[in-house]
Chains A and B, each alone.
Chain A
């Protein structure tokens, strides 16, 4: 086998199909939208080259876009500070071998398997002012004529989409953490037990450091997933009311397909890509040392 992989022809043979697919369906469209973003283009008429005007407009004129970017940062923050810690905690508890481990693992993973459209519909029902679960609960607690509409009020619309967005992927990250913890050799734990380490010490001195590469992956997934979030928010509020719950991807969709601004929409799309790459790069840098330590153990 080594002999075969040593030959470049063979390597090329195997890599080529995937490479062709990747280039034609990811890289080329990316460059095309990068090119479109420099034009004023309505999708079918003439294309007028306008240089970086679309990008200037993004930040200088479009207050909705600035708001959308801030919203996406909020989502990133919620993912990192709420979603990942909960996932990690659940994974640690499950990996320790609780009763019904398999059952809980499946239950927590369930929201990941369900389509975002369905989840959006479910949560919309929960937030409904008349028959929603949340308002029923509040009414049961005493406020008998409470009929607040969480999703159609600009003040709470984004917050209300944030909760399911964070909740949905807890199981996903939990499973990655869980697999990571399970792959740590039992020898370390046995050695620690002999040395008389406490559970806290075992977790902080063995599990977490050895999990660094996995945590890095989850952080990157979580950040990029939040920056390009679309489906759930689109289903629940469509970015409204009055752009209060807009994220860059919903705004981009709106600009491209509703308003017919292909050039401007492409600039937004390109911005999302660059933003994701930038964050991936930063996170990789930040985790470099922790990863080196992990592999040194």
Chain B
């Protein structure tokens, strides 16, 4: 009898320990976010802002600049505490969309892309409009036409930070070696590819096509010339359908370049980083990339080519088509405020501040062009970036990267479909049909 009593008691004790252990875990987990809202015990309450962005690599110039800007902000606003979290681009996008499927309680301010990418969040009323925080002083500092990607239904949800410009980077040393001419037209590009192919171990144009957006850049550049910026913008904003010869012609040209071996034998094996490395080490003569790529040529330790050999070119013209003042790029990245934040005023204030600072920082470090008219020290600009700046000043009408303008579904289909052009047996008809089905809904 005694024995069984002991057993019973021990059994109940065991069960209780288990249950206690579990509830212990549970309460710890759920208490974490509320703890984050207040800091210290018994000290004065600080406003904590949870900020998310995608510059996760410590060597990234923009990450350093962000950290500096935050430190400066904290010094001026001692009542605020800023808690920054970062993730790599693809993981970051997934994280943000998963968080915002709920209330995204752990996010106050976050980095995101405007135009088509944020539209889903606007429609679901997840973002805070900043209009009531925009004083005339702030509005006066903004560059004209830089806010288009952040305005929805007449409201402004974010402010620009920096813009980018799609550039054809050419390694002049390799061009000289092959006896090729720098390409300002498509025909010259084809001629250059023919000559560059003959160099041993050199890919004429590193595509990075394993990453869909890298592949898409090449198609978008050619479509910019065959269709024109105005036509593409109409298509991207739903004012015109995806139709016309231009789109098919651009696809044919990508295929033509692929078949010539412009992107190497198996372009789908190399992603963005591989292609950047190939260009940086002289294993590729050209790279079509955003203006942010320029900075790395000077600062990245893995780069072995002489930065002075690199020439920034416009997207080559196709004879008889398009406008030379059209370009790919623009303002699309910036910091946004979660509508369900507990501190909308502080969050909005910080978002406006950090957008301005990152705009300036991007310009100073030669990675992008500020959307703010503030004076910036231009001494530190690298020569390549100055070249790109001159190209940008010649530009009039810009097209954003298609995957940031379109909704998520057509954007994904677009990137996937462009990748098919970088493999044998691509079918332009199929490519066009898939685009029509995705975009002309």
A interface residues, Cβ below 8 angstroms from B: 1, 3-4, 10, 13-14, 16-17, 20-21, 42-46, 128-130, 147, 149, 151-154, 240-243, 254, 257-262
Contacts and interface: CB of A to CB of B under 8 A. Distances in A.
A4 B412 contact: no
Contact of A4 (B7, B210, B265): B7
A17 B19 contact: yes
Given A17-B18, A152-B423, A241-B420, A3 B268 contact: no
Given A44-B120, A152-B266, A259-B409, 17 more contacts: A4-B8, A4-B11, A42-B124, A43-B97, A128-B269, A149-B265, A152-B210, A153-B423, A154-B423, A154-B425, A240-B268, A240-B416, A241-B268, A257-B93, A257-B98, A259-B413, A260-B120
8 contacts: A3-B4, A14-B11, A42-B124, A44-B101, A44-B126, A149-B266, A151-B268, A260-B408
B380 interface: no
B117 to A, nearest CB: 10
Interface residues of B, number: 39
9 smallest beta-carbon distances between A and B, as pairs? A152-B268, A149-B266, A44-B124, A13-B15, A260-B408, A45-B124, A259-B409, A242-B420, A43-B101
B22 A17 contact: yes
Given A149-B266, A153-B423, A242-B423, A257 B11 contact: no
B124 to A, nearest CB: 4
A127 B409 CA distance: 31
B409 A44 contact: no
Contacts, number: 95
B409 A261 contact: yes
A242 B94 contact: no
Contacts of A243: 416
Contacts of B412: 254, 258-259
A10 B413 CA distance: 56
Contacts of A13: 11-12, 15
A4 B269 CA distance: 62
Contact of A262 (B101, B407, B420): B101
A259 B18 CA distance: 42
Of A130, A149, A151, A258, chain B has the most CB atoms within 10 Å of the CB of A258
Contacts of A149: 265-266, 268-269
A65 B223 CA distance: 30
Contacts of A154: 423, 425
Contact of B269 (A1, A151, A242, A259): A151
Contact of B123 (A3, A45, A153, A262): A45
A128 B408 CA distance: 31
Contact of B419 (A21, A147, A241, A259): A241
Contacts of B419: 240-242
B424 interface: yes
Contacts of A43: 97-98, 100-101, 120
A257 to B, nearest CB: 5
Interface of B: 4, 7-8, 11-12, 14-15, 18-19, 22, 93-94, 97-98, 100-101, 120-121, 123-124, 126, 210, 265-269, 407-409, 412-413, 416-417, 419-420, 423-425
Nearest to B7: A4
Contacts of A258: 408, 412
A13 B19 CA distance: 9
Nearest to B101: A43
Contact of B120 (A3, A45, A242): A45
Nearest to A262: B101
B121 A44 contact: yes
B102 to A, nearest CB: 9
A261 B420 CA distance: 23
Contacts of A153: 423-424
A262 B419 CA distance: 25
A130 to B, nearest CB: 8
B20 to A, nearest CB: 11
A178 to B, nearest CB: 33
A44 B15 CA distance: 40
Contacts of B413: 259
Contacts of B269: 128-130, 149, 151-152
B187 to A, nearest CB: 28
Q: In the complex, which of the residues B14, B266, B267, B419 has the most CB atoms of chain A within 10 Å of its own CB atom?
A: B266
B266 A260 contact: no
B40 to A, nearest CB: 34
A97 to B, nearest CB: 41
A128 B11 CA distance: 59
Contacts of A16: 15, 19
Nearest to A124: B269
A106 B19 CA distance: 38
A257 B423 contact: no
B381 to A, nearest CB: 36
A10 B423 contact: no
A21 B13 CA distance: 20
A46 B123 CA distance: 9
Contacts of B408: 42, 258-260
Contact of A260 (B210, B409, B425): B409
A193 to B, nearest CB: 47
Contacts of A4: 4, 7-8, 11
Q: Which of A16, A129, A254, A259 has the largest number of chain B CB atoms within 10 A? A: A259
Contacts of B266: 129, 147, 149, 152
Residue in B18, B123, B417, B423 whose Cβ sees the most chain A Cβ within 10 Å: B423
A261 B438 CA distance: 13
A13 B11 CA distance: 9
